[in-house]
Structure 1
């Protein structure tokens, strides 16, 4: 009675021949009459009974050099992914900090500008009041309730009013200088924001290029994985057909050396398919992170564009300041005349 053995590849059972039958020729097979029949039957024996001898483990296991290289590549990809994530976090933090700093500086400059405008308006009102009083006090005498006051008292008042006028003019000049400094500082901040915006746009372009590259790599890996899966299916069908042929025979059959290569290739392709699936998942994660980063950069660009509207407001304020300076110059000319 012939004993049956189970194949580790497909799980099918086929008869286990005796050791004496391997060397004896078979009348039903003409291929065993060939001088190379002994080598072929020994190859068949190694393939069919590799589970007992331990050779199937060497065929089914993946090459250690391939696994080491794949793990090294996987670790490199993970390190690059961590580095990209950390760079994105640093960039987001810097953009948030820049946004808050620029908003605070713009608010401070706006408040200072309003206070300076109020002080300028008050100084102009005081100067006009003092000039009106000086015109009245330049008269030789002032009559009030039928009494005549001496001229020396009014001269003292005129001197004090002139001193007050000079002090107010100095305060006005100081306020104008401060306002000009604040305007120049605001222009410098706007220029810095422009440079930072250009840097962010360049980074956005680089990120877009990297995303396109990752998408192309993802497509290539998907195509390769599809090809590998098709090859694996074809090879599995071939192995099943061969094992079905082997299971129907009671004695050893001659299997070509290509079957051993096919088995190795199946295991290699399975391993490569698993690695490609992992790479595809990593690339999908990278693409999603790039999309989120691009949305953050778009919102930042919109906020910077809204910040540029302050330039028009500053230009209007500068025009008003120039008009005020011209008016003050004309008034000073009239005073000197």
Structure 2
């Protein structure tokens, strides 16, 4: 009678004895029905040499570790101190009877072999970060089942629910004494980026739109001239629904053009499975001469300067592009 660890410790001596045609019976004590693939391979070699091996699940025996061996029905070796017997023969016969009874009540190890069957699937193959998925499996004719990349040792059938944050390939490997088989599933995790919008204004000289940037003082605040044509464009590569407080429901890829005749504000909302994002875009409407008006109200000077700088960048960009067009036309005429 022995446990799995001690069996490995004396395995070399067992092989030598079996090769000399010595009959060996082994009862392995455990507190679980699971057998490691390393143990399965060792038992296969011992059984091939005609050893008889039994598997006994007993928490008390496993905890007490009162292991022993009997040789030729005459010699007894115990791993722990025994009670005092007047006659040593009585102890030997007691242990022998106990072993025989334990062997009869235990399960004889018959190692599985042949083809392995595996069903392995996941309930969702495309998810967002922090979302839960459930892996489910069922195997037949296997001694050992491991799910990678986490190295989970699992039962022949079952399920596992986990939270996932990145693209992951899950592989279930089943083994018996002769064969191994793998089945894999892949789960893609969509990354949720912040929604973004492009803002362009129309240049009547170039007859085209040019991009503008927000003011330095407030994210999402833009400066533009009265009656200037403005275009908002967006392309959201995520799964969800987009809407705007005044425009209503919108497609995930699109644009909106309007003429600025007053201060204007847009409030966009994007709803996905995991969260809701909002984006505020505001426009400050200016006449040309407003640059030169002195704003004496406390707290507005910095904003006025920032809005002026934004408009100046817009005018300079337009001016440089016009120069480029003129030079191109001059060189074209010379040719």
Task: Give the TM-score normalised by structure 1.
Answer: 0.23
Higher strand share: 2
| Higher RCO (C-alpha under 8 Å, 6+ residues apart) | 1
Q: Rg bigger for which structure?
A: 1
